A and B are shown apart, each in its own frame.
Chain A
Amino acid sequence: MDFWIVQTLNGISFGMLLFLLAAGLSLVFGLMRIVNLAHGSFYLLGAYIGFTVIGRTGSFLLAVVVVPLGIAGLGLLMHRFLLRRFQGAELSQVLLTFGALFIFADVSLWYWGGYSQVLPKPAFLAGSLTIGTIVFPAYRIFVIVTGVVVALLSWLVLERTALGSMVRAGVDDEEMVRGLGINTPRLFTAVFALGAFLAALSGVIGGPFVGAYPGADFDVLLLALVVVIIGGLGSIGGAFVGSLLVGLIDTLGRALVPELAMFTIFAPMAIILALRPRGLFGRI
């Protein structure tokens, strides 16, 4: 029984990490119809730069704050100078983000080498919690809490602020929003940078248990894509439910049938695609 509880908690914490990744991907996709294949690169750069920042300064909190802000700046530049002029040209944008994926991957390999790096856990989260007979790492609880807080914050921003209503309206009908006099190109750039921020945050936070290694950008990109397809494009609620589902299925699947590790998450996705092409909560 304990095994199942621990695995379920592991699945939830992995799901929350996926939520940080997938929320941005889903919004970027829903709002500006960009399949951002470089989204996983923001995770990888976040994890690697976080590794270096923690190594130099010893401060986990500094890395959690500074690194995502830096990557958000990178995302801002990428959208402003590369993607914005191709708005509506979906294929061009896909190829541009794929080129960016290669460039970021190779630069990371160049600078950080081919070794797998695991970020050190901060001292105050190094221990574990014991409830009855169950022992669970404190760090994983921290990841769950962060995921829930980010989910609540993004829900509040989307539902209760002017910016949020612009984004939601943009997902439903971008042309009408533009017609109302809202500067959608600037809105797009802001959302793209926010997505990069969240992905880099997941890189720093996920670094201590998923790690940073060549190819991690690809792995997390695929997981985030599955989440977005299951949850529905452009929906934060869908990304949350999809992340939990994928986190649980992946963790339990790996524990039960390790040989079908990748298949266990792709099969449910294919079934959902067949039944609901727009995903569970897809609005568009």
Chain B
Amino acid sequence: MSGIGLALGLIVLAIIVRLLPTYYIGLLTEALILGIFAMGLDLLLGHTGLPSLGHSAYFGAAGYTMAILSLRLQQSSWVSASAGLVVSLIIAAIYGLLALRTSGVYFMMITLALAQVLWGIAFGWRSMTGGDDGLPGIARPELRALFPWSLQPPANFFTAVLIIFVIVVAALYVLVRSPFGYTLHGIRESEARMACLGYHVWWHKYVAVLIAGGVAGIAGILFVYYHGFVSPAELSLVLSAEGLLMVILGGSGTLFGPALGAIVVVFLRNLISAYTERWLLILGLIYLLVVLCAPNGIVGAIRARLPGWLDREAEA
């Protein structure tokens, strides 16, 4: 697919979305935001082989920082959103130091525990974070200084999210095809071999944690703007596990797979919730079915049926 075709497709998408009912615009927006989150997680899981079970830490930390700065300190959107991103990077820098001392299943356990520290703070520190009730009333940015439009209307916000989504996809595309990306793949396949070849394995993994944390931070900020609300759920194990589900469902180690997984999960949730209260039960069954029946994800299944198609992704 040529770059021009892709660009045209995106512009058409941005226009078509304006014709949809607000409800569907919202779903698409949420799917793209969680898609960014899942793609960042996949950089760790699929590309570097680091199974993080606490990726919501960066997502929620950025969202909370942004919310607290804009609500409690009345900072502008630019300041509070940038601060959110910086905090997610700082947390990733600290947690990376702690978690990368271990690997495999310990890495999962420790990332889970570290994310729970932040969850505990958000849950307990009521006077600052609102505790279980969260912080409502976060307004989307007005970009009047730069563009002639506000991000308040859902369609405008969708366009902004779409632009950021494309930038993140492009950046990750370049990243996983760079020498750095290939080194990460090498580390995933055999850490010892990469160390023998003279690569600084720890440093590569650390940078991957930082990038994945920053991408999760971007998604967290967008998510909080989308809902106008932040709560401990944004730091929870449920979100981290849902990210993993999206990655596995879409296909780990592929570029678009996790985003596809996010779209499927978001639409399924809304579709099923409309018919039954037993969404949790069905979500649990989806977890089982994905692991039992589609361990290579949607992209993996397509690839098995249509060899040759999506081969450029296969290099990723």
Contact = CB atoms under 8 A, between A and B. Distances in A.
Interface of A: 29, 33-35, 37, 82, 86, 90-92, 94-96, 98-107, 109-110, 218, 222, 225-226, 228-229, 233, 259-263, 265-267, 269-270, 273-274, 277
Nearest to A38: B284
B291 A86 contact: yes
Nearest to A222: B116
A95 B245 contact: yes
User: Mostly helix, strand, loop or mixed at chain B's interface?
Assistant: helix
A35 B105 CA distance: 7
A259 B278 contact: no
Contact of A35 (B112, B283, B290): B112
Contact of B110 (A96, A229, A263): A229
B124 A35 contact: no
Contacts of B125: 259-260, 263
Most buried by A among B114, B119, B280, B283: B280
B108 A277 contact: no
A33 B285 contact: no
B90 interface: no
A56 B125 CA distance: 42
A99 B286 CA distance: 7
Contacts of B126: 259
B291 A229 contact: no
A266 B120 contact: yes
Given A218-B237, A229-B113, 13 more contacts: A34-B105, A37-B241, A95-B245, A99-B285, A99-B291, A110-B278, A225-B116, A229-B109, A233-B106, A263-B120, A263-B124, A265-B120, A266-B116
Nearest to A225: B113
Given A95-B248, A226-B113, A273-B113, A102 B284 contact: yes
Contacts of A104: 284
Interface in B81-134: 98, 101-102, 104-106, 108-110, 112-114, 116-117, 119-121, 123-127
B163 to A, nearest CB: 32
B141 interface: no
A164 B106 CA distance: 24
Contacts of B127: 259
Interface residues of B, number: 42
Contacts of B278: 106, 110
17 contacts: A91-B108, A92-B295, A98-B241, A98-B284, A99-B285, A99-B286, A101-B284, A107-B281, A109-B280, A218-B237, A229-B113, A259-B125, A259-B126, A262-B124, A269-B113, A273-B113, A274-B98
Contact of A96 (B53, B98, B287): B287
Contacts of B51: 90-91, 94
A107 to B, nearest CB: 7
B109 to A, nearest CB: 6
B104 A96 contact: no
A28 to B, nearest CB: 11
B15 to A, nearest CB: 38
Nearest to B114: A270
A150 to B, nearest CB: 24
Given A102-B281, A105-B280, A273 B120 contact: no
B221 interface: no
Given A106-B281, A260-B124, A277 B113 contact: no
A277 B104 contact: no
Nearest to B126: A259
A100 B284 contact: yes
Most buried by B among A103, A269, A274: A103
A106 B280 contact: yes
Given A103-B281, A106-B284, A226-B113, A33 B121 contact: no
